[in-house]
């Protein structure tokens, strides 16, 4: 059975204006790779309702699993939950289970559960909460879409909650060999090899360090024996 496919949607003007560098994509990619879930696409869109709704609907139709990050805080620019409700055509309101989570948290910290914070308890109808140990405000899952925070520590905590609920597949394994020959010189032999190992993906990532031109050749696949065979071939070809 092929691995499930996945996409990520990063929501936020701050990434597209260059102010903030997204950190969640690389983390999700690594976790999904280890879990045997194939991350096939990632998109970044701005804080624009039409763009968010369109992207959510395109991705949830095309992939088995969708993860979003960003836009679920207490401020006016946090519009993700409303957009998800619109994408699914369901209502959204403060939900008692979410409010209870937040009340418990704020009563401990002495902060007020004011109107702005209560917005974070607004959950689309039919969603299940993603609790997390870092922040009071929950994420949520609806259909095949998992809605998480943009702050990396909270995103990671939410992913730890969600990952065990997803059906993974065979972990994608990878091996890497550093070759100190220019990419243009190893490309021919690599192409022949790729034709023989069609069950593996073979990537070449060039580097230059001063006067050394080389490439990291990365072999990916799910079968350990085949990876061993590919690495042996690389050693044979490039020493």
Q: Out of 60, 95, 119, 122, point to the residue binding a second copy (CB under 8 A).
A: 119
List Cα–Cα distances, 159 to 11, 130, 138, in angstroms: 16, 9, 12
Report in angstroms how near the CB of residue 147 gets to a second copy at its nearest. Answer: 17
Q: Which two tokens stand for residue 2?
A: 């092929």
Who contacts 79 (Cβ-Cβ below 8 Å, separation ≥6)? 47, 49, 52, 71
Residues 141-160 that bind a second copy (CB under 8 A): 151
Q: How far apart are CA 218 and CA 176, in angstroms?
A: 4
Question: Is position 42 an interface residue for a second copy (rule: CB under 8 A)?
Answer: yes
Q: Out of 99, 160, 220, 226, point to the residue binding a second copy (CB under 8 A).
A: 220
| Contacts with a second copy, 19-38, as mask; x by CB under 8 A | xxxx--xxxxxxxxx-----
Q: Which two tokens stand for residue 52?
A: 């968010």
Q: Out of 11, 15, 145, 166, point to the residue binding a second copy (CB under 8 A).
A: 15
Q: How far apart are CA 31 and CA 159, in angstroms?
A: 9
Name the residues that contact a second copy, by CB under 8 A: 13-22, 25-33, 39-48, 51, 73-77, 111-112, 114-117, 119-120, 151, 172, 174, 182-188, 190-191, 194, 201-206, 215, 218, 220
């Amino acid at each position: 059975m092929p691995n499930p496919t996945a996409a990520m949607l990063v929501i936020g003007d701050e990434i597209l204006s260059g102010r903030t560098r997204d950190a969640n994509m690389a983390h999700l990619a690594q976790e999904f790779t280890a879990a045997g879930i194939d991350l096939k696409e990632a998109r970044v869109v701005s804080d624009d309702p039409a763009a968010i709704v369109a992207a959510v609907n395109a991705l949830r139709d095309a992939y088995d699993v969708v993860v979003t990050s960003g836009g679920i805080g207490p401020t006016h620019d946090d519009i993700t939950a409303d957009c998800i409700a619109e994408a699914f055509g369901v209502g959204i309101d403060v939900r008692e289970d979410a409010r209870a989570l937040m009340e418990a948290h704020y009563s401990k910290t002495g902060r007020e559960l004011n109107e702005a914070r209560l917005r974070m308890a607004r959950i689309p109808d039919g969603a299940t909460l993603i609790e997390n140990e870092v922040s009071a405000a929950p994420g949520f899952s609806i259909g095949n879409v998992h809605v998480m925070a943009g702050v990396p520590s909270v995103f990671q905590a939410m992913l730890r909650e969600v990952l065990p609920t997803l059906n993974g597949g065979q972990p994608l394994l990878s091996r890497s060999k550093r070759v100190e020959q220019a990419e243009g010189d190893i490309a021919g032999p690599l192409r022949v090899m790729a034709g023989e190992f069609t069950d593996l993906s073979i990537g070449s990532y060039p580097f230059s360090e001063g006067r050394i031109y080389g490439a990291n050749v990365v072999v990916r696949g799910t079968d350990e024996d085949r990876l061993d065979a590919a690495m042996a071939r690389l050693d044979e070809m490039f020493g």
